[in-house]
Amino acid sequence: MSAAPDLDVRYIAQLARLDLSEAEIATFQTQLGHVLEHVAALRRVDVSAVEPTAHASAVFNVFRDDEPRASFPPEVALSNAPRKANELFVVTKVVE
Amino acid sequence: MRYLTTIGLEVHVQLKTRSKMFCGCAVEYGAAPNTRTCPVCLGLPGALPTMNAEALRLTTLTGLMLGCDIAPTCKFDRKNYFYPDMPKNYQISQYDLPLCVNGAVPLHDLAYPKDAQKSIAHPGKQVGLVRIHLEEDVAKSFHFENSTGIDFDRAGTPLMEIVTRPEIESPEEAFAFLTALRQILVYGDVSDADMEKGQLRCDCNISVRPETQTEFGAKIEIKNMNSVSGVRRALAYEIERQVGELTAGRPLRQETRRWDDAADQTTLMRTKESAHDYRYFPDPDLMPVHTAPLLDAARTRLPELPAAKRARFVQDYAISDYDAAVLADDRALADYFETAAKAAPKPKSVANWVLNDLLSALASAGKSIGECPFPAASLVEMIGLIDSGKISGKQGKEVFAEMFATGKTAGAVVKERGMEQLSDTSALEALCDQVIAANPKPVADYRGGNAASLNFLKGQVMKLSKGQANPALTGEILQRKLA
Amino acid sequence: MLSTLASLTVTALQAKLRAREVSPREALDALAARIDAVDGRLRGYLSTDLEYARRAAESADVTLPLGGVPIAVKDVVSVAGQPCGCASKILAGYRAPFDATAIARLRAAGAIPFGRTNMDEFAMGSSTENSAFQLTRNPWDLSRVPGGSSGGSAAVVAADTAFAALGTDTGGSIRQPAALCGCVGLKPSYGRVSRYGLVAFASSLDQIGPLTKTVADAALLLGVMAGRDPLDSTSLDAPVPDYAAAVRDFSIKGARIGLPKEYFVSGIDPQVEAAVRAAVAHYAKLGAEIVEVSLPHTEYAVAVYYIIATAEASANLARFDGVRYGHRAADTNGLLEHYGRTRAEGFGPEVKRRIILGTYVLSSGYYDAYYLRAQKVRTLMRQDFEKAFAQCDALICPTSPVPAFKLGERTADPLAMYLADIFTIAANLAGICGVSLPGGFAKAADDGDRELPIGVQLLGPAFAEEKLLGIAHAFEQTTDWHQRRPALG
């Protein structure tokens, strides 16, 4: 039994839109269990009075002026499309 | 059994910026597909977002107009979900620190549907807001027989999400809310907020419950309305449907339904899915925002809001509450009126001309006030010609029609048509002498006490002057001469 | 002549180009010949675009700071018109339609980005074994790894198949391979070099930096790339000094060098530790003051790093979905299958493992326990460095606890691989700068004759690259480790 019984690799893989084989699920369950065991050490740290760091530097209000700039010509925009038609990117039918 | 209805709205509003939220691509409605894209809004590997300051200012301005509390600090988060219209498969949005919280939209009488204005359940009601946050719009999908095509031109357009408290109690209140909100957004020049162009989109959450029950009924979400009246009809349909289900003993479940405007009904889209897990976290690509400078900028752009304008019109121009409400309904109309009213000695007559003649002329021509063929100054000139007696009121209508058709000034129309009234006293006296001399019988009748004979004599003067004699002046002269 | 040309540093090459002793075309041809001779065994490059490079060389302006100098680029940095595949199958066929800002600045300075170097897929790994396409070998011993994730960039510089290369560093990915291959690897402070066009692994940690033969070359390249970029909100608006000149003029006398006591505990190869201690003694001899400092939260670095980096990566890698570019699974039925299979086919095992971990730590109910807590401990780690840098100008420590290891030796145990990043990841979490430089050689335990490079790491405060490079330069100028070359023939 891994140290992270809460980690349900199968469910998480669905959230991440990643089809995993049974073998991959089993391997990841074990390996990530070890990683989470190591990570559990963080619980020992007293962070009650600590602000989280989301950015390496404390800078605010980095803005851009509302000036339109040149866009890609459509042939460049679509140059890497796996499938395209009528200047649109085409995917499998989306059923809402 | 009576049923209570609870409605909450989530309104998405496209902001009126020149460029997108996080990149410099132009925001344009109706451009050719995939001609307004760049690495950022296509989600290419390595692209990074940069914040459009104007979008933040417009959202702050909206918050001020709706009486919200503006957060001193806000930030952007990533909302993770996979969908082909979402280039990065996460949307940059605001989660726990939105730009604005609280606030309200006041529902004034004229905001209700016309047929419901006589029976407003809660006059003066305000619908409270939970929050307003800023995010990016998704791409547009086109569904074909076997595939879906995607145009990323819309992806990344600044989108403001306004969430109401569940305080709306009827389809008519929802209608009034959207109408009043739209009006305010247009007043602030924040958005054109045209539902048919998708600039304002609305999802409704609605539940019904027996009045004896305290907890809310099952929450049902309705999507795909593309007009304010569509929202009203969709909600009315849903209330009837849900009450019908409950009455028949069939319990309701949480679900999402689609409004079909042509069929005038909602259909099931999906039942309650496994709860979304959006895995929000602060976007490391964007720095947090201190809102103080945004507030300073927004305050300088804060317009007079519809309610204040209505009150001021009544006060300043001595017009009725109703007239003021109609005039203030549309910011451009209000501005037109006010430009004219300020220049005219009698603002009340300006209001009459605008509300009666101008609005109906615009309506039958299918034009908005912005497309009015003549400026406010021309209307003032025309009213001045009537008031000074240069033309008659009846002639005024004729002049107005010509102005509306051609855009010519009142003076030009009057001159062209030779409508200038004869008000030169000496010329009029000569005409009157001529008529008195030629009509001894009516003159004798009048002197004998038949007052009506004066009208006949007046008519003769008018005839002689080819209709240009000033009628009031003519009457005075005749009376004096026959006294 | 040709092979000696290829072994030049950028600074030396530039001097020859400017003096018209060598033409840019001759320099490029020499490099191409060297690549031809060596890269078949080394496999440092995924692709080269010599046709473009020759055209660029013909019209190069040698008066520019890097005029006519060919530069190798890690496959994670966008160069317009070239593949940018991140050594992943999921980006099959993708060509970048735009330049990264760092590339645009290098081009404006006359450099020629001509080749794509191998790497761990999406920069996830420490050995370059996670490339979906090929194994890159360590030029000092072809049976060993070059380190990672910028293993290709380190190998080509060490093998003289590049004058200099760009790498990226999220948790040591420039410094560790530089150490294992015996070259100089600089991770600039977070925000010093624009990330625009760098395919993101962990956005709050990633930086582009140079891998070079000397500290002076690193200074030269940094000077060209550094500075605020309006396309990257996290790039800082701080002045860009003349790093090359600052490095030349630097005096080591009186510089204070800190020894973090937590970095000399256990698990370090004794030869690595000896080399670092010798470097400390060397600095003392040069007139530097040595002080002991403490970084008390060091033991949590790996845990914090693997939560934050994988969480950010799980979102950053969501865009690889086969809709707009890259691999798309064939004949899928419906959206879920399209996504699930495209991504399953496109990503390798390490990338999948990290996406799962990152998705998990952000998922509902776990965010506070993992992600938020890690961010808070990250704050404590930054404070550790702030306190340490109040007492010294730079910290000295090993870059990697071990020299280059054998191919395949560590792939089975991801956690052990992660733990080997212990000396490098703290710099990324704190946003500070760091450099690895050649600091000695180890005898391979299993192969007595074989000498493997050892890297010495210097860490400096954020935006203090001038001094950091000056301190590194002082060591380099008084030692000859950096002059040794692998015997590749």
User: What value does the mean pLDDT take over residues C217-227?
Assistant: 98
Say if B346 falls within a structural domain: no
How much is the pLDDT for B391?
81
Task: Specify whether B429 is located in the same domain as B291.
Answer: no
User: What value does the mean pLDDT take over residues C294-311?
Assistant: 96
Residue B247 in this model has a pLDDT that exceeds 90:
yes
Q: Answer whether B48 sits within 8 Å of C231, measured CB to CB.
A: yes
pTM of the complete model: 0.92
Nearest 5°: CA angle at C366, between A16 and C171? Answer: 70
- Cα separations (Å) of C252 from B66, B417, C293, C440, C468? 62, 98, 19, 20, 11
Q: Answer whether C355 sits within 8 Å of A16, measured CB to CB.
A: yes
Say if B314 falls within a structural domain: no
Confidence of residue B273 (pLDDT cuts 50, 70, 90): low
Residue B206 in this model has a pLDDT that exceeds 50:
yes
Residues of A in contact with C94 (CB under 8 A): 80
Which of A18, A57, A61 is the best mutation test for B, with the most CBs of B within 10 A?
A61
How close C194 comes to chain A (CA, Å)? 14
Counting one residue from A and one from B, how many pairs have CB atoms under 8 Å apart? 120
Q: Answer whether B34 sits within 8 Å of A87, measured CB to CB.
A: yes
Structural domains in chain C, CATH included, are 2-252 (3.90.1300.10), 299-375 (no CATH)
User: Minimal Cα distance from C199: which residue of B?
Assistant: B46
Residue B462 in this model has a pLDDT that exceeds 90:
no
Say if B390 falls within a structural domain: no
Residues 6+ apart with CB under 8 A from C402: C268, C269, C272, C420
Which of B25, B48, B80, B93 is the best mutation test for C, with the most CBs of C within 10 A?
B48
Q: Answer whether A80 sits within 8 Å of C326, measured CB to CB.
A: yes
At C440-461, the pLDDT tens digits run 999 987 776 789 999 999 999 9
Task: Specify whether B430 is located in the same domain as B289.
Answer: no
Confidence of residue C415 (pLDDT cuts 50, 70, 90): confident
Q: Answer whether A19 sits within 8 Å of C326, measured CB to CB.
A: no
> How far, in Å, CA of C224 to CA of C205, rounded?
21
Residues of C in contact with A39 (CB under 8 A): 303, 306-307, 370
At B290-312, the pLDDT tens digits run 999 999 999 999 999 999 999 99
At C16-44, the pLDDT tens digits run 999 999 999 999 999 999 999 999 999 99
Q: Answer whether A74 sits within 8 Å of B33, measured CB to CB.
A: yes
Q: Are C323 and A4 in contact (CB under 8 A)?
A: no
DSSP string of C199-241, one letter each residue: PPSSTTT-EEEEEESSHHHHHHHHHHHBS--TT-TTS------
User: Minimal Cα distance from B87: which residue of C?
Assistant: C319
Residue A4 in this model has a pLDDT that exceeds 60:
no
Q: Which of B148-162, B266-280, B332-346 has the lowest mean pLDDT?
A: B266-280
Residue B64 in this model has a pLDDT that exceeds 60:
yes
Selection from A4-18, B393-407, C221-235 with the highest mean pLDDT: C221-235
Helix extents (H) in B133-278: 171-187, 228-247
β-strands C207-212, C165-169 pairing: antiparallel
How much is the pLDDT for A1?
36
Say if B143 falls within a structural domain: yes
At C114-127, the pLDDT tens digits run 999 999 999 999 99
Q: Which of A17, A35, A53 sits opposite C415 (nearest CB)?
A: A35
Say if B387 falls within a structural domain: no
User: Minimal Cα distance from C371: which residue of B?
Assistant: B281
Residue A2 in this model has a pLDDT that exceeds 70:
no
At A60-82, the pLDDT tens digits run 999 999 999 999 999 999 999 99
How much is the pLDDT for C300?
96
Q: Which of B155-164, B317-326, B452-461, C237-246 has the lowest mean pLDDT?
A: B452-461
Percent of chain B with pLDDT over 90: 76
Residue A3 in this model has a pLDDT that exceeds 70:
no
Residue C338 in this model has a pLDDT that exceeds 90:
yes
Q: Which of B49, B78, B286 sits opposite C315 (nearest CB)?
A: B78
At B116-164, the pLDDT tens digits run 999 999 999 999 999 999 999 999 999 999 999 999 999 999 999 999 9
Q: Mean pLDDT of all residues in chain B?
A: 93
Strand partners for C186: C435
Counting one residue from A and one from C, how many pairs have CB atoms under 8 Å apart? 160
How many residues are given for chain A? Answer: 96
> How far, in Å, CA of C42 to CA of A16, rounded?
35
> How far, in Å, CA of B305 to CA of B289, rounded?
27
User: Closest Cα partner for B235 from B1, B5, B3, B2?
Assistant: B5
Domain ranges, residue B35: 3-296
Residues of A in contact with C344 (CB under 8 A): 18-20
Say if B120 falls within a structural domain: yes
| Domain finish residue from B272, B296, B320 | B296
Q: Are C260 and C395 in contact (CB under 8 A)?
A: yes
Q: Which of C231, C312, C318 sits opposite B88 (nearest CB)?
A: C318
At C418-433, the pLDDT tens digits run 888 999 999 999 999 9
Task: Specify whether B226 is located in the same domain as B87.
Answer: yes
Q: Which of A6-10, C97-101, C307-311 has the lowest mean pLDDT?
A: A6-10
How much is the pLDDT for A96?
67
Say if B252 falls within a structural domain: yes
Burial class of B447 by CB neighbour count within 10 A (0 to 12, 13 to 18, 19+): exposed
Percent of chain C with pLDDT over 90: 93
- Distance from first CA to last CA of chain C, Å, rounded? 14
| Domain finish residue from B235, B266, B296 | B296
> How far, in Å, CA of B329 to CA of B317, rounded?
16
User: Minimal Cα distance from A10: which residue of C?
Assistant: C356
User: What value does the mean pLDDT take over residues B18-29?
Assistant: 96
Residues 6+ apart with CB under 8 A from B460: B435, B438, B439
Confidence of residue A34 (pLDDT cuts 50, 70, 90): very high
How much is the pLDDT for B4?
95
How much is the pLDDT for C1?
46
* CATH, residue B471: 1.10.10.410
β-strands B147-151, A88-92 pairing: antiparallel
Residue C2 in this model has a pLDDT that exceeds 60:
no
How much is the pLDDT for C459?
98
Say if B343 falls within a structural domain: no
| Domain finish residue from B296, B313, B344 | B296
Number of compact structural domains in chain B: 2
β-strands C256-260, C394-398 pairing: parallel
ipTM value for the complex: 0.96
Q: For chain A, which chains pass the contact test of at least 3 CB pairs under 8 Å?
A: B, C
How much is the pLDDT for B310?
94
Residues 6+ apart with CB under 8 A from B354: B327, B333, B336, B337, B340, B379
Q: Mean pLDDT of all residues in chain C?
A: 96
Q: Are B107 and B184 in contact (CB under 8 A)?
A: no
